[in-house]
Amino acid sequence: MGKSTNPIVNDCVMSGVKPAMLELPYPPIQVKCRNRDYAELLKIDYSGAVSELSAITQYINNQNRMSCEKCSLAKVILGIAIAEMMHLQKLGELIDLLGGEVDYGVMQPNGKQKLWTPAYLTLSSNIRKMLCAGIEAEKAAINQYRKHIGMIGDDCVKAVLLRIIKDEEYHILLLQALMEDL
């Protein structure tokens, strides 16, 4: 048998996908004063095990795995990933304003920095498991943001985190709706 001259094509086009975010404004990205301790907390949200970087990577992987089979679902997942990218960008700005280093490392209790790793991800080829992992990750992110809000005394930073939580809650609703449609 000879090779086929017809290419294998994915007909699922992702152009035009918009961020899956609530249509509410974000507070200004500002801080009352530099505070490296607050920056270190936000670095956990930026690139820790439960983080925007982990969410982006997991959602993009899921979107790629499902785009040939479930195009409309893949587009929603990409929209969520784009929203998480915007959260990452806002956190990066806050970290910088607070005097922190915007990188992919989180300071550990022993004083050493741990870099982000794909080991933080829950990857599956099963769509139901992908959606369940997304819901659990969103819930963990919300809990972590709430914990950090309780540890941060800067109302400007808190306002941004509270707004991010609203998007994360919206993502849970989207993922639950996708689960019901399977």
pLDDT tens track for 22-52: 999 999 999 999 999 999 999 999 999 999 9
- Whole-angstrom Cα distance, residue 2 to residue 12? 28
Instruction: Give the least confident one: 8-12, 87-91, 108-112.
Output: 8-12
What pLDDT score was predicted for residue 2?
A: 56
Is the pLDDT confidence value at 118 over 80?
yes
Strands (E), 98-176: 105-107, 113-115
Residue at 158: amino acid letter: K
Number of alpha carbons in the 13 Å side-chain half-sphere of residue 41 = 18
What pLDDT score was predicted for residue 36?
A: 97
pLDDT (tens digit per residue) in 120-173: 999 999 999 999 999 999 999 999 999 999 999 999 999 999 999 999 999 999
What pLDDT score was predicted for residue 138?
A: 98
- Whole-angstrom Cα distance, residue 10 to residue 5? 16
CB 160 within 8 Å of CB 29: yes
Tokens of 2: 């000879």
What pLDDT score was predicted for residue 3?
A: 67
Confidence of residue 84 (pLDDT cuts 50, 70, 90): very high
CB 49 within 8 Å of CB 177: no
Most distant CA atoms of the chain, gap in Å: 70
pTM of the model: 0.94
Strands (E), the chain: 105-107, 113-115
